[in-house]
């Protein structure tokens, strides 16, 4: 299916690995010109190098950074059609998951909200005027199933993502009539470096459960979270939904939240 994305311009944050890398690769394959933002590059992102890809090194917790990243799209490619707010998760120096509300102090909460919500607010603030100049656009915020299912594990992160979901609804109401669609994608546990890297979620849970890294990824975590599919989500499965929402094929879809969670959420 032709997603009718060829020639569009996109900004993707958190682009060097995991879900963000899969999104960048997918959009490039659809003919999109992409500004990819992340703190640093990666071998995988560099392998995608070409005239349609610009990498911007940015720490999105810096207040000016989201706006500067969005501005590069106009500088490099003349405007902006798509914004994918994918950067999120644990801020630098923070260990997740946490198992209790009392494990996070005020500074921890501020850091999680800066990274997972305030950076999105700032990116949208910069992106919407550019989109309006082109008659519209698509904003896709990568949220989390934790934003819909409260839990004592990572309560600060879940609260930030719930705020993102509310933000998307509000933005869709204000700017939808002007052609800017805003949607969220809510992944469950995804097989990314957040889980797999040394000291990541798999190692933290292994220590809690008296297990080991590989057993957590393949058995303990899927069983603990009662995943219907019995496995963690593949990043490409999230990227495919993001690409569809970015596409004019989804012209009547706005203010929606698409769950890609392996069956984590059980409520209707």
**Residues carrying an active site annotation:** 157
* DSSP β-ladder status, 180-187 and 82-85: unpaired
CA 251 to chain CA centroid, nearest Å: 21
């Amino acid at each position: 299916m032709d997603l009718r994305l060829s020639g569009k311009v996109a900004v993707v944050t958190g682009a060097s690995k995991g879900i963000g890398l899969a999104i960048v690769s997918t959009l490039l394959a659809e003919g999109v010109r992409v500004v990819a933002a992340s703190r640093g590059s990666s071998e995988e992102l560099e392998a995608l190098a070409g005239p349609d890809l610009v990498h911007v090194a940015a720490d999105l917790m810096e207040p000016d950074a989201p706006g500067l990243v969005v501005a590069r799209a106009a500088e490099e490619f003349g405007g902006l059609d798509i914004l994918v707010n994918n950067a999120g998760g644990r801020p630098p120096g923070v260990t997740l998951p946490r198992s209790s509300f009392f494990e996070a102090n005020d500074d921890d909460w501020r850091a999680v909200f800066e990274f997972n919500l305030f950076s999105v607010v700032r990116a949208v603030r910069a992106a919407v005027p550019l989109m309006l100049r082109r008659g519209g656009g698509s904003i896709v915020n990568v949220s989390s199933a934790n934003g819909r299912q409260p839990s004592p594990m990572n309560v600060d992160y879940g609260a930030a993502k719930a705020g993102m979901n509310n933000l998307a609804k509000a933005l869709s109401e204000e700017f939808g009539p002007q052609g800017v669609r805003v949607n969220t994608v809510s992944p469950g546990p995804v097989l990314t470096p957040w889980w797999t890297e040394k000291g990541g979620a798999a190692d933290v849970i292994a220590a809690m459960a008296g297990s080991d890294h590989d057993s957590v990824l393949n058995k303990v975590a899927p069983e603990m979270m009662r995943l219907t599919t019995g496995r963690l989500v593949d990043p490409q499965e999230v990227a495919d939904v993001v690409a569809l929402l970015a596409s004019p094929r989804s012209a009547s879809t706005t203010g929606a939240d698409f769950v890609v969670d392996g069956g984590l959420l059980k409520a209707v």
